[in-house]
Amino acid sequence: MNNFFIETDRLLITEVDETMAQSLHENSLDVDNRKFDPDEVYETIEDAKKIIKSILEWYKQERSPLVYPIILKSGDNIGYVQAIPLGKLSWEIGYHIAKKYTGNGYAAEAVKAFLPVIIEKLNIDIMFGIILRENIASRRVIEKCGFVLEYSGIGLYQGQHRNICKYSYKLQNATPLNQK
φ, ψ at 154 (rounded to 5°) = -80, 130
pLDDT band at 179 (very low <50, low <70, confident <90, very high): very low
Give the pLDDT band (50/70/90) at residue 88: confident
Q: How far is CA 154 from CA 54, 130, 151, 160, 161, in A?
A: 31, 11, 9, 10, 6
DSSP 92: E
| pLDDT of 113 over the 60 cut | yes
CB under 8 Å to 14, separation ≥6 — which residues? Answer: 2, 4, 5, 6, 68, 69, 71
Residue 113, CA distances (Å) to 21, 58, 70 in order = 24, 21, 11
Structural domains of the chain in order of their starting residue, each with its CATH number: 5-179 (3.40.630.30)
Rounded to the nearest integer, the mean pLDDT of the chain is 92
175 has a pLDDT exceeding 80: no
pLDDT in tens, 124-142: 999 999 999 999 999 999 9
Strand partners, 160: 157
Q: Which residues contact 36 (CB under 8 A, 6 or more apart)?
A: 132, 135, 138
- 157-162, long-range: CB within 8 Å, 24+ apart, which pairs? 157/130, 157/132, 158/37, 158/38, 158/39, 162/132, 162/133
pTM: 0.90
> At 145, which amino acid appears?
C
Residue 154 near residue 162, CB atoms below 8 Å: yes
DSSP-derived pairing of the beta strands 11-14 and 5-7:
antiparallel
Whether the per-residue pLDDT at 17 is higher than 70: the answer is yes
Phi, psi dihedral angles at 126 (to 5 degrees): -145, 145
- Residue 60 pLDDT > 50: yes
Q: Which of 56-65, 96-105, 137-146 has the lowest mean pLDDT?
A: 56-65
